[in-house]
């Protein structure tokens, strides 16, 4: 189904570009920076190892501000890359953070665009705001071992129902999420039902509750309010088509009884600014546009807020505030900005996007809910004539707001494990000669040379000996300095081995056997996991097939568990527990080891546990497979016991391993 989704999205690319071009009539920025939408970024712009914070548009950027500021204040996170999908969101990012963050557009959910974006930036963590869940992005990030979390997650019943209809696509995507920090318990339950692991879903609250007002805002509000004079002011923020018309009609009725009323009308989407101005013209109302840099005079009836980033100012000068998207079945918008400014809040009945918050406000008598636009102005009049009731509602809303604070701290506490050990491996050195491609780790070798896979060359450097391992043969080699390596040629298993012993059907280079293991080991070592270093890999194209080799650093003085139990000694309780913790570290990073057995677990002379042989392994979503992975290891121990009744292992040792698996990492592991 995901492949079908990808094909459908690819077919829709030209219509999407046409749509962007059409949107560019009102906002020319839609016709710019298209390369970024396909994952391109200038070579001088992309920086490996960034933390990506993705915000869909303006609302998500504003919600993310407390979190981004907290990331900027902690040097461990580095300089974030903040992405969005709209020009207005881009403008808000630059307005809020300037040059303190990097910024590009988020790629379209096309497989190649997503891969290009992840390759260029190689992020160590991606934080999605609210509900920016794109199947191809989540699938590709999972395959590359990039952890993705959702912060400030919100999911209405309508959105959840849509995801359920596309369950075959969305459930695997949602299962890849490493952490979901939800606004409320209802959202947490919906994410769990849709496939998120319950252990990875937490209720942290709404990030906007930690909103810190611009220190300059009170002075701006006071100055603007003085300019407006002593007149009733209603701000209607984030309004939509259908609401603007209703509010304009209701204002005309309001003016009949309160002629000096001023409506500050702030449409949600900038492309509607001109359309709303035309509505005001047809209604015969006297209005000014904020973009014209004019202030209302005593005769002005409507101030059209057609600029970006000033909604807090307009809420601040109002006697009462209406939050749009709620008179129509849009679901409402976040009321926290009104509450932060201690203004009386008015909404319509359609607030399902914030159902939990509105229910809390309703129970605290901290919100007025109305059925139509006339009711909005009726509330304004009630607040004017009953200042005591207005003060009580504002005080109740402040109590609710204060109780909600701390979402940023709770979110950061859950993100803490991602702040550690998230280095990005260096890009391999590469050489290509005819059908042969060689990669080497620049930490080990200064050039990608073919002799690294020549046993005779190694024999001239130092010692060389054969080892049996798995279904093939591994050669242990040493350089002149005594550094040891294991040189392994890839062989097939099963019935196919009789037909094509060491040939594999051609596939993209990075996904071929040797190169995939090379890249995976580099990622795991960058995260301080107990795995060997992949030093070189070779891919040789042979028509429709290829053969492959890998060179891995030898772990000094290490012996595999099977050999220890067969020929040397039983393991101590601490050793079993270290092995358990090593496997747990792997699983915590969502790494699936396809052949987890006692031959691929090792202990060195210091007692440190290691895991080896990562052929056909990779990152896997969810948690259900982990128990099966452990069961495979247990079966391998039982098999060795059947082969050798004198094996120094018994079923009583297994709980020791499990105890280690269930315990936190220890110093020295």
The residues assigned a catalytic role are 60
* Of 496, 520, 515, nearest in space to 436 by CA: 515
Distance in angstroms (rounded) separating the CA atoms of residues 334 and 350: 12
Q: Which two tokens stand for residue 658?
A: 């499990």
Q: In the beta sheet, which residues pair with residue 545?
A: 505, 542
Strands 179-182 and 201-203: parallel
Class of residue 424 by CB neighbours under 10 A (exposed 0-12, middle 13-18, buried 19+):
middle
Q: In the beta sheet, which residues pair with residue 262?
A: 233
> Helix H segments across 452-569?
455-461, 496-499, 513-526, 561-563
SS3 string of 27-95?
Answer: CHHHHCCHHHHCCCCCCCCCCCCCEEEECCCHHHHHHHHHHHHHHHCCHHHCCCEEEECCHHHHHHHHH
Distances (CA, A) of 378 to 214, 247, 381, 640: 31, 12, 5, 81
Report which secondary-structure segment, H or E, holds 430: strand 429-433
Residue 471 exposure: Cα atoms within 13 Å on the Cβ side = 13
Strands 436-440 and 601-604: unpaired
- C-alpha torsion sign, points 136, 138, 140, 143: negative
Contacts of 385 (CB under 8 A, 6+ apart): none
Contacts of 477 (CB under 8 A, 6+ apart): 455, 458, 459, 461, 462, 463, 464, 484, 485, 486, 487
Q: Which residues of 492-519 are buried (b: 16+ CB within 10 A; e: fewer)?
A: beeeeeeeeebbbeeeebeebbbbbbbb
Overall size of the chain counted in residues: 669
Distance in angstroms (rounded) separating the CA atoms of residues 345 and 184: 21
Tell me if 492 sits within 8 A of 402, measured CB to CB: no
Q: Which two tokens stand for residue 324?
A: 């749009």
How many Cβ atoms are within 10 Å of 83's Cβ, its own excluded? 27
Q: Phi then psi for 397, rounded to 5 degrees?
A: -65, -35
Distances (CA, A) of 285 to 262, 273, 378, 440: 11, 16, 20, 72
Q: Which two tokens stand for residue 210?
A: 């930690």
Distance in angstroms (rounded) separating the CA atoms of residues 490 and 496: 13
């Amino acid at each position: 189904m995901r492949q079908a989704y990808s094909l459908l999205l690819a077919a829709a690319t030209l219509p999407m570009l046409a749509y962007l071009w059409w949107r560019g009539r009102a906002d020319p920025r839609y016709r710019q920076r298209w390369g970024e939408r396909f994952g391109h970024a200038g070579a001088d712009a992309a920086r490996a190892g960034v933390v990506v914070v993705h915000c869909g548009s303006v609302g998500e950027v504003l919600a993310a501000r407390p979190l981004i500021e907290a990331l900027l204040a902690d040097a461990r996170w580095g300089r974030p890359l903040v992405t969005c999908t709209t020009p207005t969101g881009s403008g808000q990012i630059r307005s809020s953070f300037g040059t303190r963050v990097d910024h590009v557009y988020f790629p379209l959910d096309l497989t190649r665009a997503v891969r290009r974006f992840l390759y260029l930036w190689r992020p160590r963590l991606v934080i999605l705001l609210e509900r920016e869940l794109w199947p191809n992005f989540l699938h590709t990030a999972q395959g590359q071992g990039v952890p993705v979390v959702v912060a400030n997650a919100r999911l209405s019943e309508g959105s959840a129902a849509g995801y359920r209809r596309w369950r075959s696509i969305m459930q695997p995507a949602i299962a890849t999420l490493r952490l979901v920090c939800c606004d409320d318990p209802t959202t947490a339950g919906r994410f769990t039902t849709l496939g998120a692991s319950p252990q990875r879903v937490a209720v942290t609250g709404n990030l906007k509750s930690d909103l810190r007002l611009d220190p300059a805002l009170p002075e701006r509000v006071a100055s603007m309010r003085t300019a407006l004079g002593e007149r009733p002011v209603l701000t209607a923020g984030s309004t939509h088509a259908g609401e603007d018309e209703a509010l304009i009609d209701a204002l005309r009725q309001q003016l009949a009884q309160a002629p000096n009323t001023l409506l500050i009308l702030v449409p949600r989407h900038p492309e509607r600014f001109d359309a709303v101005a035309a509505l005001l013209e047809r209604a015969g109302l006297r209005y000014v546009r904020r973009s014209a840099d004019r202030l209302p005079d005593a005769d002005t009836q409507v101030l059209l807020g057609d600029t970006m980033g000033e909604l807090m100012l307009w809420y601040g000068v109002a006697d009462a505030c209406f939050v749009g998207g709620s008179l129509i079945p849009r679901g409402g918008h976040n009321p926290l900005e009104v509450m932060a400014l201690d203004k009386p809040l008015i909404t319509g009945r359609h607030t399902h996007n914030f159902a939990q918050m509105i229910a809390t406000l309703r129970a605290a008598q901290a919100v007025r809910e109305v059925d139509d636009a006339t009711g909005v102005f009726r509330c304004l009049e009630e607040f004017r004539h009953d200042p005591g009731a207005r003060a009580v509602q504002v005080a109740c809303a402040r109590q609710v707001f204060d109780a909600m604070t701390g979402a940023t701290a709770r979110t950061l506490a859950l993100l803490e494990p991602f702040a550690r050990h998230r280095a990005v491996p260096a890009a391999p050195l590469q050489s290509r000669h005819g059908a042969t491609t060689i990669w080497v780790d620049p930490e080990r070798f200064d050039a990608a040379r073919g002799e690294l896979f020549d046993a005779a060359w190694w024999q001239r450097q130092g010692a060389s000996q054969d080892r049996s391992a798995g279904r093939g043969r591994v050669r242990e080699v040493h350089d002149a300095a005594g550094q040891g390596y294991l040189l392994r040629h890839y062989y097939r298993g099963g019935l196919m081995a009789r037909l094509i012993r060491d040939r594999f059907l051609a596939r993209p280079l990075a996904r071929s056997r040797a190169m995939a293991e090379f890249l995976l080991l580099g990622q795991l070592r960058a995260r301080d996991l107990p795995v060997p270093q992949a030093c070189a890999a070779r891919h040789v194209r042979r028509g429709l097939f290829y053969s492959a080799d890998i060179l891995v650093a030898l772990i000094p003085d290490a012996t595999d568990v099977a050999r220890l139990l067969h020929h040397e000694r039983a393991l101590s309780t601490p050793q079993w527990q270290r092995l358990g913790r090593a496997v747990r570290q792997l699983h915590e990073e969502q790494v699936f080891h396809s052949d987890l057995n006692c031959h691929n677990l090792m202990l060195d002379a210091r007692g440190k546990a290691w895991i080896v042989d990562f052929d056909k392994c990779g990152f896997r979503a969810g948690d259900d497979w982990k128990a099966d992975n452990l069961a495979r290891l247990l079966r391998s121990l039982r098999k060795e016991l059947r082969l050798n009744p004198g094996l120094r292992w018994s079923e009583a040792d297994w709980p020791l391993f499990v105890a280690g698996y269930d315990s936190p990492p220890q110093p020295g592991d």
